[in-house]
Structure 1
């Protein structure tokens, strides 16, 4: 079952901006940035996209969110905004590794629209904050298909949920990620991104998605005490290309594999494998004359 989420309350505008900036697929909005690229210090424009994804990890229902939004990217020496994270405070930036602080976000879900969670509290907007170490493992030159790079990103984040009237801490995640980036995959302006990222989380985050307390027990939903541990692994593929000089189109899909997860016996854990899809465009309207390399 697919739910279309078209609500656009002003109080949720910040959440939309956070998701636009942090979505992994949005990194395909621009040509993939390699070490020797020259790119504007800042740029701004319009972003529009549609996302279809599970309502929560291992859910059997999905939701579609349509987002129109302005976007802004800043590539400073120590502060960077956009391109895969809302904001990054870069502590160390060398040719083969980078240490920074990142923030990311994800959509919530209305339990009234989800059969498995009916009568339970809604799942609020979630954002994560924490350090990440990005290490370049290899650089590859192709005779006919551009150049590529392989990265290992080690990410640890603190997780929070909010309904914009309050905020709750939901534990921590550890997410190592192998990522391959290639520019010039099919043509000079085509970019390819492939990543594989297993995730482990503390008990509080597993509780948020999978625990069933006595107050919410039904004939179909038994009592369940969630525990911390393995969450699942995501395989992400995204492709982007230029429609015009200033308009870039991206397509993305991902498979999340939850087999062997710590709470696969929860009545709220319904699908071992789930899939997400996205499509959108970025229209760059303004950019700086100054260029920087490798950021």
Structure 2
């Protein structure tokens, strides 16, 4: 998975051809990163109807879940917030209020996988490269509990996403279902404005999705990499912690994610080199535009 003016390599040691592949996925990386860092702030005050900004983020993560190779990337991070009555867009994603209830929301769930040049990944050497893929789909969010002042909230979130490759002829590569519990804590530790988000849960994916990442066709089999066909089902678990803070014209966000593949249907794939891994990132955005209209918000 995933400019100096060096002729062949960047400051991170990536060949230029490989960097071009990573940069095709940057819009998806930026959106997914901002979503991952989105802990909520429940203070009910007047805020602008919309705000826009732009910043920079950095991330380190495995090439794919189960890979023992890593990518380190810098990328632009957009900041966009819209606080409509029935539609909201912010660091927690796009949300619509389709029910007359403050305990049920329909959201848009986003995810991604970065491109992998197989010549740069020992486990996949000699196999086809992995294309960058965007994951998108609906998510049902059910509020299970909230504190008296609404500063702490526990949700059950049920996202299902379709993964589609980012290339000239996009291809659907399967579905992912990732039910999880999500805890948002505003003013964590008594620190005004600092917001903590915690989430954890299992992942399930279709055979087509797992085969894209973990199958080895006969023609690519070697003595150290036997042929393998991945099956649908349980795909391990994940836990994520994020911390964010809105200053006057600046937004800061950071996250750490832990993935574990013990018991996954593809655990025995020769492309799985490690069964647990960490990913982490941080971002800083400058907010340079906002609406003159203000609305009540508990974002």
Same-fold call, TM cutoff 0.5: yes
Alignment partner of 1:155 is 2:159: yes
- Aligned-residue offset at 1:260: 0.4
The 5 Å alignment of 1:187-226 reads 187-226=191-230
2:180 and 2:221 mapped to 1: Cα distance? 37
TM-score (ref. length: structure 1): 0.86
Partner secondary structure for residue 116 of structure 1: helix
8 Å contact kept, 1:79–1:89: yes
Alignment partner of 1:114 is 2:121: yes
Partner secondary structure for residue 167 of structure 1: coil
Q: Which sits farther off after the overlay, 245-254 or 74-83?
A: 74-83
Q: Which runs of 4+ in 1 moved over 4 A?
A: 2-9, 11-14, 87-90
2:176 to 173, 177, 188: 173
1:115-165, CA deviations, whole angstroms, 9 ceiling, x for partnerless residues? 1011111111111222211011111258xxx92111100111222122x21
2:229 and 2:252 mapped to 1: Cα distance? 44
RMSD over aligned Cα, in angstroms?
A: 2.5
With over 3 angstroms needed to count, the CA separation of the structure-2 counterparts of 1:4 and 1:189, relative to structure 1, is farther
Partner secondary structure for residue 142 of structure 2: strand
1:234 and 1:4 mapped to 2: Cα distance? 29
Alignment partner of 1:125 is 2:135: no
8 Å contact kept, 2:257–2:279: yes
8 Å contact kept, 2:83–2:295: no
Q: Which has the higher strand share?
A: 1
Figure out how many residues of one structure are paired with residues of the other and give that number. Answer: 284
1:235-276, CA deviations, whole angstroms, 9 ceiling, x for partnerless residues? 10111235x422222221111011000011110011111101
TM-score (ref. length: structure 2): 0.85
Equivalent residue for 1:283? 286
Runs of 5+ consecutive residues of structure 1 not aligned to the other structure: none
8 Å contact kept, 1:25–1:278: no
Runs of 5+ consecutive residues of structure 2 not aligned to the other structure: 3-11
1:95-120, CA deviations, whole angstroms, 9 ceiling, x for partnerless residues? 11112444443322221210101111
Equivalent residue for 2:103? 96
8 Å contact kept, 2:31–2:78: no
8 Å contact kept, 1:42–1:74: yes
Equivalent residue for 1:25? 36
The 5 Å alignment of 1:244-259 reads 244-259=247-262
